[in-house]
Amino acid sequence: MALEVLEALDSARTQWYHLTAIVIAGMGFFTDAYDLFCISTVSKLLGRLYYFDPSTGKPGKLPLGVNNMVTGVALVGTLSGQLVFGWLGDKLGRKKVYGFTLILMVACAICSGLSFGSTAKSVMGTLCFFRFWLGFGIGGDYPLSATIMSEYANKRTRGAFIAAVFAMQGVGIIFAGLVSMILSAIFKSYFPAPSFTSNNVLSTQPQSDFLWRLVLMIGAIPAMLTYYWRMKMPETGRYTAIIEGNAKQAAADMARVLDIEIQAEQDKLAEFKASNNYTLWSNEFFQRHGRHLIGTMSCWFLLDIAFYSQNLTQKDIFPAMGLIASDKDMNAIEEVFQTSRAMFVVALLGTFPGYWFTVFLIERLGRYKIQLMGFFMMSFFMFVIGVKYDYLKNENHNLFALLYGLTFFFANFGPNSTTFVLPAELFPTRVRSTCHALSAAAGKAGAMVGVFGIQSYTLNATATDTKKIRQAMLILAVTNLLGFFSSFLVTETKGRSLEEISGEDGRESELTPTPNNRVPIPGSHQGSRTTETM
């Protein structure tokens, strides 16, 4: 029982409109990544500016609680935004709330840079307030972008298209380092200053207060450039047909963007809707999709503990790797420059390639194999770093950098990409956005564990006492191993229509277990009525 408009979407050749949708949705993720990770390049500068105590003989440093809030409050907002906008995406439509997320991101990125006040408490307070709401807008982009791209794409290239949208996160991380590096280089040339050791007061240039504000505010620009094109996108044909029940409008919209003739089937649509009229909290949903929802949530939760711990603690790991000098040997702006440069290099050589390996290979290898491989390799490399940390730190910086970069490569050529793709494919249209939001929110809960928990180890570590960093890396290695085993709760989705995967078309398969068919081994095709190849 397949609708013509859905079959047309599944079999449509790749067209310019598909590429346009990737760019429009991907620019949102570019902005998301920039806004979330640019704070890592300037957080040490905030400590020098607002928390310098001459009696310590050390550069100013954000107190543990303040540091956790500054770097982690956006993640709290992201989790909240994912749940709210994911639910609204199913209730009101993907397009209706898609533009509002960008408006919120633009306004809050600008206000984060303004951060009104003259005292440390007032500046940090307003910064955290606006970064929470910035994260709230970012959160909406996760379920909406993934759902829109999955519902537009054909079944042959759907995984690659969704992964390409998410790969823009890698570009955003690169630009976070690049923009911070360029701006700090400009400030450094105009406002030279001695190192902290030479003069602990003059080493922090007053002009550097403008530097961190500019870095944060630039995140508003790509969001502004994308807004018009998001508003021009029509609602997805699947939402219009299956949720709104308007087969005629769905056929007209998709015929226009795909440049093909599509027959409206209103009578057939009523039968289609009636067979899939169950809610997220129903027993039928649990029987059909409960295992997969637990799998996508647990895998994303465990992955983000490691992924965000690594990204947000780079400023502490980089000195140990020999990528930046000691903070006492630099002035404030020089520290921003060196931190940004190291972040840029690691992102360019480790983070960025992993995303695009996934894009190009996901339809050949499949989501399932890539996720298992990524979790296993991350666990292995983090274990080696944890066990050999002192040797790598003191005697082999090049090997340290290589191992650290490889963990990022296999995170992105692995579960960081597939945990985004799978929730957009496994669940029915009427709850697809909500289920993706629940999975993504579980991921951000893991990110908060990394920020508020794991980061405490590295923040307090000293040059001579590396025990906490070693423990943190070993904890992350175990976390990734748990993610490896949790991956057996999900299964392969490549080459299948969304309706076949979710069981909406009435076909029983391994992906939608019912009381009449047992659940086969994940990744196998035992019990499937059809087996499609690329």
Instruction: Give the distance from CA 479 to its chain's centroid.
Output: 18
pLDDT: which is higher, 364 or 397: 364
Residue 316 and residue 375 in contact, taking contact as beta carbons nearer than 8 Å: no
**Residue 481 carries which side chain, given as an amino acid letter?**
L
Give residue-wise pLDDT tens across range 294-334: 999 999 999 999 888 875 456 556 776 677 888 899 999 99
- Closest to 79 measured CA to CA, from 127, 40, 132: 132
At 1, which helix (H) or strand (E)? none
Give residue-wise pLDDT tens across range 12-43: 777 777 788 888 888 888 998 999 889 989 99
- Closest to 389 measured CA to CA, from 451, 333, 471: 471
Q: What per-residue confidence (pLDDT) applies to 275?
A: 63
Distance between CA atoms of residues 236 and 250, nearest Å: 8
The beta strand positions in 36-149, using DSSP E, are none
| Stretch 386-413: mean pLDDT | 87
Give residue-wise pLDDT tens across range 322-333: 778 888 999 999
Residue 436 and residue 424 in contact, taking contact as beta carbons nearer than 8 Å: yes
Q: What per-residue confidence (pLDDT) applies to 525?
A: 42
Helices then strands (H, E): number in the chain?
A: 24, 0
Q: Return the sign of the alpha-carbon dihedral for residues 488, 494, 498, 499.
A: negative
Residue 167 and residue 27 in contact, taking contact as beta carbons nearer than 8 Å: no
**Residue 199 carries which side chain, given as an amino acid letter?**
N
Query: Is the pLDDT assigned to residue 392 strictly greater than 80?
Result: yes
Phi, psi at 514, each rounded to 5°: -125, 170
Q: What per-residue confidence (pLDDT) applies to 529?
A: 37
Q: What per-residue confidence (pLDDT) applies to 502?
A: 82
Distance between CA atoms of residues 458 and 11, nearest Å: 50
Distance between CA atoms of residues 69 and 66, nearest Å: 5
b/e code 334-369 from CB counts within 10 Å (16+ = b): bbbbbbbbbbbbbbbebbbbbbbbbbebbbebbbbb
Query: Is the pLDDT assigned to residue 512 strictly greater than 80?
Result: no
Task: Measure the N-to-C terminal CA separation of the chain; round to a whole number of Å.
Answer: 23
CB atoms within 10 A of CB 287: 14
* Predicted structure pTM score: 0.86
83: helix, strand or coil: helix
Give residue-wise pLDDT tens across range 242-266: 888 777 787 787 777 766 666 656 6
| Stretch 223-234: mean pLDDT | 85
User: Mean pLDDT over all residues of the chain?
Assistant: 85
Q: What per-residue confidence (pLDDT) applies to 419?
A: 96
Band the pLDDT of 497: cuts 50, 70, 90: confident
Give residue-wise pLDDT tens across range 75-107: 899 999 999 999 999 999 888 888 889 899 999
Give residue-wise pLDDT tens across range 423-461: 999 999 889 999 999 999 999 999 888 878 877 666 655
Query: Is the pLDDT assigned to residue 530 strictly greater than 50?
Result: no
Query: Is the pLDDT assigned to residue 206 strictly greater than 90?
Result: yes
Distance between CA atoms of residues 347 and 374, nearest Å: 17
Band the pLDDT of 462: cuts 50, 70, 90: low
Three-state SS letters, 150-212: HHHCCCCCHHHHHHHHHHHHHHHHHHHHHHHHHHHHHHHHHCCCCCCCCCCCCCCCCCHHHHH
Band the pLDDT of 227: cuts 50, 70, 90: confident
Q: What per-residue confidence (pLDDT) applies to 309?
A: 80
- Closest to 192 measured CA to CA, from 210, 209, 204: 204
Residue 265 and residue 254 in contact, taking contact as beta carbons nearer than 8 Å: no
CB atoms within 10 A of CB 525: 15
What are the residues facing 514 on neighbouring strands?
517
Q: What per-residue confidence (pLDDT) applies to 434?
A: 95
Query: Is the pLDDT assigned to residue 509 strictly greater than 80?
Result: no
Query: Is the pLDDT assigned to residue 465 strictly greater than 90?
Result: no
